[in-house]
Structure 1
Amino acid sequence: MTSPLWSAPVASAPVDAVVALPGSKSVTNRALVLAALADGPSTVRQPLYSRDTTLMAAGLRALGATVEDTADGDLRVVPAPLRGPAHVDVGNAGTVMRFLPPVAALAAGDVRFEGDPRAYERPLDGVILALRDLGADIDDAGTGRLPMTVRGAGSLRGGIVEIDASSSSQFVSALLLSGARFAEGVEVRHIGSSVPSMPHIDMTVAMLRAAGVAVDDSEPDVWKVAPGPIAARDVVVEPDLSNAAPFLAAALVTGGRVTVRDWPVATTQPGDWLRDLFARMGGAWEFTDDGLVFTGTGKIHGITADLHDVGELTPVIAAVAALADSPSELTGIAHLRLHETDRLAALAKELNGLGGDVTDTADGLVIRPRPLHGGEFATYDDHRLATAAAVIGLAVPGVEVENIATTAKTLPDFPALWHALLMPADQAS
Structure 2
Amino acid sequence: MTVIEIPGSKSVTARALFLAAAAEGTTTLQRPLVSDDTEGFAEGLVRLGYRVERGPGSWRIEGRPAGPGVADADVFCRDGATTARFLPALAAVGHGTFRFDASAQMRRRPLAPLTRALQELGVDLVHEEAEGHHPLRIVASGIKGGELTLDAGQSSQYLTALLMLGPLTAEGLRITVTDLVSAPYIEITLAMMRSFGVEVAREGPVFTVPPGGYRSTAYPIEPDASTASYFFAAAAVTGREVTVPGLGTGALQGDLRFVEVLRRMGAVVRSTPSGTTVAGPDRLQGLTVNMRDISDTMPTLAAIAPYAAGPVRIEDVANTRVKECDRLEACAQNLRALGIDVATGPDWIEIRPGTPRPTPVATHGDHRIVMSFAVTGLRAPGISFDDPGCVRKTFPDFHRVFEALQRSWRGDGHRTG
Fold shared, TM-score > 0.5 on shorter chain: yes
Match of 1:129 in 2: 116
Distance of 1:48 and 1:358 partners within structure 2: 35
Match of 1:182 in 2: 169
| Aligned partner letter, 2:84 | M
Residue of 366, 378, 381 corresponding to 1:397: 381
Match of 2:3 in 1: 18
% identical aligned pairs: 36
Shift of 1:37: 0.5
Residue of 33, 52, 57 corresponding to 2:37: 52
Contact 2:248 2:274 in 1 (8 A): no
Distance verdict in 2 for CA 1:175–1:274, change over 3 Å = same
Alignment of 1:346-365 (within 5 A): 346-365=330-349
Computed over aligned residues only, the root mean square deviation of the Cα atoms, in angstroms, reads 1.4
Residue of 305, 308, 312 corresponding to 1:328: 312
SS in 1 for 2:214: coil
Shift of 1:290: 6.7
Residue of 72, 80, 105 corresponding to 1:93: 80
Distance of 1:144 and 1:180 partners within structure 2: 25
| Aligned partner letter, 1:325 | A
Residue 273, structure 1, aligned to residue 273, structure 2: no
Match of 2:131 in 1: 143
Contact 1:136 1:156 in 2 (8 A): yes
Residue 203, structure 1, aligned to residue 188, structure 2: yes
Shift of 1:368: 1.2
Distance of 1:202 and 1:318 partners within structure 2: 26
Contact 2:229 2:259 in 1 (8 A): no
Alignment of 1:17-416 (within 5 A): 17-70=2-55, 72-80=56-64, 81-82=67-68, 83-141=70-128, 143-153=131-141, 155-191=142-178, 194-217=179-202, 219-287=203-271, 291-416=275-400
Contact 2:233 2:300 in 1 (8 A): yes
Shift of 1:289: 8.4
Distance verdict in 2 for CA 1:316–1:157, change over 3 Å = same
* Deviation by residue 1:204-234 (Cα, 9 ceiling, x = unmatched): 11111121113111x2221111000201101
* Deviation by residue 1:255-275 (Cα, 9 ceiling, x = unmatched): 111111122322231221022
* Deviation by residue 1:224-256 (Cα, 9 ceiling, x = unmatched): 110002011010011111111110111111111
Shift of 1:325: 1.1
| Aligned partner letter, 2:152 | A
Distance of 1:196 and 1:339 partners within structure 2: 13
SS in 2 for 1:164: strand
Distance of 1:111 and 1:357 partners within structure 2: 49
Contact 1:21 1:260 in 2 (8 A): yes
* Deviation by residue 1:285-325 (Cα, 9 ceiling, x = unmatched): 11368732210122111121000111000001111112211
Distance of 2:75 and 2:132 partners within structure 1: 17
Distance of 1:93 and 1:361 partners within structure 2: 28
Match of 2:402 in 1: 418
* Deviation by residue 1:342-379 (Cα, 9 ceiling, x = unmatched): 00111100110010111221111011122221111011
Q: What TM-score comes out, normalization by structure 1 length? A: 0.92
* Deviation by residue 1:180-209 (Cα, 9 ceiling, x = unmatched): 011111111122xx3110000111111111
| Runs of 4+ displaced beyond 2 Å | 287-291, 426-429
Match of 1:10 in 2: none
Contact 1:63 1:107 in 2 (8 A): no
Q: What TM-score comes out, normalization by structure 2 length? A: 0.95
Contact 1:333 1:363 in 2 (8 A): yes
